[in-house]
Amino acid sequence: MIYLNNKLVPRDRARISVFDHGFLYGDGIYETLRAYNGVVFMFDKHIERLYRSASLIDLNIPMSPDAVKRAVYKTIKANRLKEAVIRITVSRGAGPVGLDPALCPEPTFVIFATQFRKYPEQFYLKGVKITIADTRRNYSGALDPRIKSLNFLNNILAKIEAKKKDAYEAIMLNYRGYLAEGTISNIFFIKDNVLHTPSLKVGLLDGITRRIILDAAKALHIATREGSFKPRDIQGAEEAFISNTTMEVMPVAEISSMKKFNGPGRITRLLHKAYKQKVADDTRRRGE
């Protein structure tokens, strides 16, 4: 069952117009969330970011935040899910061909929820291969990285590079050659027992999982550094991992053939354990 414009409809009846500006121009926003045992993790933060993205493109979400939350749980329940991945999509809506947002009188609002499928256990035991992409991250002066936009062509081009190099993920650099973020993830590396990750000032989305990891590191008295790093800065690292809402903390085994790691390191394991504890505490409290 899909939640489409204020009602649940069967998947084969969940249709939008070919004139929808989300389809025509990528004019819209989205959020991906994860439910554990039927409870959506970090729900408030995801909803807050959804509305922030909408405001940054002058898009009106046709529901209140509380109504969106109710719709998400209604969709989860309708699909009889406990462990789920949820996506909320809001596009500009259908209208005549043209870039003017005023052409679209009503936005299109969609929620779908699917069964969460575990990543291969080997990914966490041995790590994944990633690559440094030639495709650069969009210049923040052209497209604000705070907008979680439907227009993903920049990331798709980097993903194509990753596939051609038999890599799981591609890390993009900004226009000045500094590490930014992956196609769907944030990048972290540990060097001299300090957790490093690109600063938001480099031009990347402020990942919710990213912030949880940084907070967990501080709680564990692990030194952290958010800054501007070149690919060469990773060469002396002892550990590396990538993160997002669904993968949580995923260790890196190899980076562009220039650096290899022997499985997840001590700090990576500590942070993944802390993340899991955060999930357990938060979902238990909200589920009570």
Domains 2-115 and 121-283 share a fold: no
Q: How far apart are CA 240 and CA 263, in angstroms?
A: 10
Q: What phi and psi, each to the nearest 5 degrees, are found at residue 210?
A: -55, -45
Cβ atoms within 10 A of the Cβ of 34, count?
Answer: 22
What confidence tens digit (pLDDT) does each residue in 204-252 have?
999 999 999 999 999 999 999 999 999 999 988 999 999 999 999 999 9
Query: What string of H, E and C letters represents the secondary structure of 160-187?
Result: HHHHHCCCCEEEEECCCCCEEEECCCEE
Give the global pTM: 0.94
- Predicted confidence band at 287 (pLDDT cuts at 50, 70, 90)? low
Q: Is the domain defined by 121-283 classed in CATH 3.30.160.100?
A: no
Report the candidate in 219, 227, 161 with the shortest Cα–Cα distance to residue 188.
227
Note the pLDDT of residue 116: 98
H helices of the chain, in order, are: 21-25, 43-56, 65-78, 121-126, 153-164, 208-219, 266-287
Note the pLDDT of residue 257: 77
Asked if 187 and 68 count as a contact pair (C-beta separation under 8 A), the reply is: no
Does residue 61 surpass a pLDDT of 80?
A: yes
Topology, domain 2-115? D-amino Acid Aminotransferase; Chain A, domain 1 (3.30.470)
- The domain locations on the chain are 2-115, 121-283
Mean pLDDT of the chain: 96
Query: What is the distance of C-alpha 164 from the center of its chain?
Result: 22
Mean pLDDT over 149-160 rounds to 96
- Predicted confidence band at 263 (pLDDT cuts at 50, 70, 90)? confident
What confidence tens digit (pLDDT) does each residue in 102-127 have?
999 999 999 999 999 999 999 999 99
Note the pLDDT of residue 258: 79
Structure tokens of 125?
């035991």
Cβ atoms within 10 A of the Cβ of 182, count?
Answer: 26
